[in-house]
Amino acid sequence: MRAIFLIAWREYAENAKTKGFWIGLFLFPIIIFASIFVQRILDDATPTRNYVLVDQSGEYADVIRAAMENRHQADILEALGEYQAKYSKVKTEAEMPDFESMPAVDQEAMAERFASGFGSKLGSMLKDGGLEQVLAQMAPLLVDDRPEFEEPKLRFREVPLPDGMAAELGLDELSTELKPFLKGSQSVMVDGESEELFAAVLIPANIGELISDPGSLQGLQAAMSGAGSRSGIQYWATNLADKDLKSRVKSSVIAELHRKEYLARGMDSDAVAAVEDLDVPFADLNPNKAVGKEEVSMADVLRQWAPVGFVYLLWVGIFTISQMLLNNTIEEKSNRIIEVLLSSVTPGELMMGKLAGIAGVGLTMIGVWMGSLVTILKLSAGPEAEFPTMLWEVLRTSGLIPAFMVYFILGYLLYSALFLAIGSVCNTIKEAQNLMGPVMLIMMVPLITMMFIPKDPNGTLARILSWIPLYTPFTMMNRAAAHPPMIDTVGTLILLIVFTGFVMWMVGRIFRIGILRTGQPPKIMELLRWVRSS
C-alpha cells in the first residue's frame, strides 16, 4: 500500500504542477460566472439596432411603430420591477419566490402576450410623465442611497432613409441603393451621428393583393413552391441570427391584417380582439407528486433538465483526466521512466498508484468546479436573480450531487482503465490515437442522446443504455431526476461495479505485459492471450 500511495502522490503532484491543470481548474468557475452575470452585461452592451421602414401601401407603418413602442414600454415595466426588487427597503424571506409552488410557464409566450396586450395597456400609463409618477410612488418603499432608475434603451430604432433616397422608388431599386448601408460600407446619420443600418423593412404598395389563404389551392401552391416571397414584404438584413425585429414586424402586420379582415366581414374587431384575449387556466400535473401538490412547478422543470448539465460535466471530467492518464503513461514509457519505477514496485502497484493519483487530480478538479458552482449560485441567489436561486434550490434538494460523485468515480475507473490499457501497449501518441478511435465512438453516444433521454427517461432506449455498463454512468445520471425504477437504479449500479472490477482485472493483465513491451501495438488476439495468461 505504501508503494501505491507514493506513486499516487507522485502522479498527483506531477499533474498538479502543470499549467493546464490550473487553467482547467479556474476556467470552469469563470464560465459559470460569465453565464450568470455576463449575459446581462452583454445584453446591455448590445447597441440599439437601427432600421428603415418603407410602407408604400400606407397601411401598416403606424401599426408596426405602435407594436415596437408597446414592446419598449413592456421592457420599461420589467425594468421597474427589477429596480423595485433590488432596492426595496424591506427584504424578507417572504420576498423570495417559492419555486416549488410557482407554476411552470412558457416565459417567452407570456412575455409576448404581455407586450401585445396587457403590457401595452399598462405601458401607455408610462408615457407623458407617467413614469415619473410611478417612480415617485415607489420612492418611499426604496432605500435612500439607490441609484437613479435608468430606462432601458431601445432594442430597435426606426431611422429615416439616407439622404437622397426616395421612398417612392421601386422596391428593387430601393433595396439596391440600401445594400451598401446594410453591408456596413456606408452609414446612416442619426441625431447628427454616424450609425450602422441593421435592417430594412420594405412593404410594397400592392401588399393587399398578395394575401392568400394557406388552406386554398393557390396558397398551398405558393407555400410549396416558395414563389412570390420576393413580391411580398421584404426584410433585408445581414444578421441572420437576430430575428427579433423580423418577428415583431411580422406579428404586428398579421394582427392588423386579421383586424381588417374582421371589419371586411362585418365583424366588430374590438369584440373579436376581446374574445381572442380570453384565456383558460391550463395546469400541468405530475402524478408522482404528493396529493394536493401535483402541479408542475418551475423547480420541477429545472430539476428535469438539470441532469443534462451534470452529464456533460461528467463526460468532460472523465475524458479529460483519462486522456491525462493516457498521455502520462505513454510519455513515461517512451522516456524509460517506467523501467525505473518497475525496478522498485510491481506492475499492479504501479497501475493502481497511477489510477489513484489521476483520480485525485480529477476529484480535485470536480470538487473545485462543484464548490465554485454552489458558491456562485449562493452568492447570486435572491429575488433579482431568480434562475440562479432556482438552480441552487434544485441542486440542494434533488440529490443530484451525490449521484454525480458516485457515477463520476465509477465512470472514471472504467474509462481510465481502458485508456491505461491503450497507453501501456503504445509507444507514441500517434499509435494511441489509432486505438482510441473505437473508445471515442463509444463515448460519443452519451453526448448524442444527452438531450433525448430527459424527454423519455424511462423509455426503451434509456433503459437499454442504462444496462450497458459503458453508458450506465451517463444514462443513469441523466435519468436521476425522473425517479427510475428501483430495479434500474440498484441493478445497473451493481452491474457497473462488477463490470468495472472485471475491466480493471483484465487491464491489470494487459498492463503487466504491455508496459515493458516495445515495437508495434499488439493485435486483438494477442491481447486476449495476455488476458488468459496466468
Residues 220-245, buried b or exposed e (16+ Cβ, 10 A)? Answer: eebeeeeeeeeebbbebbeeeeeeeb
The winner for highest mean pLDDT among 226-230, 289-293, 329-333 is: 329-333
**SS3 state at 49:** strand
Phi (first) and psi of residue 346, to 5 degrees: -85, 160
| Between 222 and 433, residue with greater pLDDT | 433
* Least confident window among 34-48, 103-117, 149-163, 332-346: 103-117
- From residue 390, how far is each of 100, 261, 299, 378 by CA, in Å? 9, 45, 6, 10
Beta bridge pairs of residue 285 = 295
Average pLDDT of span 478-495: 88
What pLDDT sits at residue 93? 44
Distance, first Cα to last Cα, the chain: 23
User: In terms of pLDDT, which residue wins out, 45 or 513?
Assistant: 513
Phi, psi values for residue 158, rounded to 5°: -80, 135
pLDDT band at 308 (very low <50, low <70, confident <90, very high): confident
From CA 376, how far away is CA 388, in angstroms rounded?
8
Each domain of the chain, given as residue ranges in start order, spans: 2-33+303-532, 46-209+226-276
Where does the pLDDT of residue 227 fall: very low under 50, low under 70, confident under 90, or very high at 90 and above?
very low
Predicted confidence at residue 199, as pLDDT, reads 93
Reported as a pLDDT band with limits 50, 70 and 90, residue 354 is confident
Record the cell numbers describing residue 148, joined without a space. 437613479
Segment 375-389 mean pLDDT? 60
- Compute the distance between CA of residue 287 and CA of residue 298 in angstroms, rounded to an integer: 16
pLDDT at 379: 66
Alpha helices in 290-346 (DSSP H): 298-334, 337-342
Quickly state the pLDDT bin for 220 (edges 50, 70, 90): very low
Closest CA relative to residue 255, chosen from 66, 111, 52: 66
pLDDT band of 51, cuts 50, 70, 90: very high
pLDDT for 202:
92
* pLDDT at residue 353, rounded to an integer: 84
CB neighbour burial string for 192-209, b if at least 16 within 10 angstroms, e if fewer:
eeebebbbbbbbbeebee
Instruction: State the CB neighbour count (10 A cutoff) for residue 342.
Output: 15
Q: Collapse the DSSP code of 301 into the 3-class scheme (helix H, G, I; strand E, B; otherwise coil) and give the result.
A: helix
State residue 497's pLDDT score. 94
Comparing 90 with 161, the larger pLDDT belongs to: 161
Residue among 192, 244, 205 at smallest CA distance from 72: 244
Residue whose C-alpha is closest to residue 497's, from 390, 409, 374, 422: 409
pLDDT of residue 110: 53
Q: What is the mean pLDDT of residues 98-113?
A: 54
Between 221 and 446, residue with greater pLDDT:
446
Mean pLDDT across 330-350: 78
Let me know how long the chain is: 534
Whether 328 contacts 14, CB under 8 Å = yes
pLDDT of residue 50 exceeding 70: yes
Window from 199-213, 222-236, 482-496 with minimum mean pLDDT: 222-236
Residue 21: per-residue pLDDT: 72
Section 258-262 average pLDDT:
84
Nearest to 442 by CA among 315, 306, 314, 310: 315
Residue 182 has pLDDT above 80, yes or no: yes
**Mean pLDDT along residues 238-262:** 87
| pLDDT score recorded for residue 449 | 84
Lowest pLDDT segment from 11-15, 193-197, 201-205, 440-444: 11-15
Residues 384, 326 contacting (CB under 8 angstroms) = no
How sure is the predictor about 111, in pLDDT bands with cuts at 50, 70 and 90?
low
pLDDT > 90 fraction of the chain, expressed in percent and rounded:
12
Residue 306 near residue 477 (C-beta atoms within 8 A): no
What distance separates the 2 farthest-apart alpha carbons in the chain?
98
> pLDDT at residue 214 above 60?
no
**3-class SS at 158?**
strand
Assign 59 to helix, strand or coil: coil
pLDDT of 125 above 80: no
Cell numbers standing for residue 114:
404581455
121 pLDDT above the threshold of 60? no
Model confidence at 495, pLDDT cuts 50, 70, 90, reads: very high
Distance of alpha carbon 245 from alpha carbon 235, whole angstroms: 9
Low-confidence winner among 26-40, 87-101, 255-269, 321-335 (lowest mean pLDDT): 87-101
Looking at every residue in the chain, the average pLDDT score rounds to: 78
Predicted pLDDT of residue 7: 79
Of 154-158, 269-273, 330-334, give the lowest mean pLDDT range.
269-273
Q: How far, in Å, are 24, 37, 50, 211 from residue 364 at the CA level?
A: 11, 25, 49, 63
% of the chain exceeding 70 in pLDDT: 77
